[in-house]
Amino acid sequence: MPSPFPGMDPYLEHPKLWAPFQHQMLACLYQILLPGLVDRYRARVGSRTYTAEMALFTSVVREDHAEEFIEIRTRSDGRLVTLIEVVSPGNKTSSAGRAAYLDKRKEAAACRAGIVEIDLVLQGKPTLTYSRDGLPEYDYAVTVTKSTAPDRYEIYTATLQKRLPKFKVPLAPDDRDALLDLQAAFARAYDLGNFAPQIDYKGPVPPDVPLTDDNRRWADEMLKGQKMR
């Protein structure tokens, strides 16, 4: 059963659902990306870990987190060409998660690699800051930086009410970009993760997800129209 939402599903930001969703999303992006890479490249899924602390009454709760990412490297010398990240709620809401994410980004930038950031999280503080002047209103964004122009962003946007975009993955400067369909990857990840029976669409979205009033009304009507409420 597919998600009732046309694009990203905000219910997946639930703490119990995000980690398996992120894992499936990275795996599906990898599977879609791989056939489009020429022989000079290889792709791999890497991971990082960090510990986040949260104050709870008179104690401190520590949670260990593991996050995956995709690296595209040259086969000849293993040079990092492109880093692909799916931002997690922890990257946007905890200092440890943010630091772990930004450290990996700095490492890729130091290698003069291209960087792709896929942000499907509404909660928390964005990991990248840039002017929204000239951009349409959006809820989700894919931000791409190329090795040849590390201070410029290509931004692909989507709203809760629309499909997720296709975007270009930069490779070496003398190669054409690879095209990725984010909506296709999402649909595959949602299906393979069997998320439909795990989500109670009759209830509200997770409390930490800041839907606008317009999006909340639209989501209510959309779910009622599909007889899920």
* d(C-alpha 184, C-alpha 160), whole Å: 16
* d(C-alpha 126, C-alpha 209), whole Å: 14
* d(C-alpha 120, C-alpha 104), whole Å: 19
> Which tokens belong to 171?
């490779």
Instruction: Write out the H or E segment, with its range, that includes residue 19.
Output: helix 15-33
Angle at Cα 202 formed by Cα 201 and Cα 206, nearest 5°? 60
Query: How confident is the model over 149-200, as pLDDT tens digits?
Result: 988 999 999 999 999 999 999 999 999 999 999 999 999 999 999 999 999 9
Query: How confident is the model over 77-116, as pLDDT tens digits?
Result: 999 999 999 999 999 999 999 999 999 999 999 999 999 9
Q: Kindly report the pTM of this predicted structure.
A: 0.95
Closest CA to 140 of 83, 182, 175, 173: 182
Question: Is the distance from CB of 115 to CB of 101 less than 8 angstroms?
Answer: no
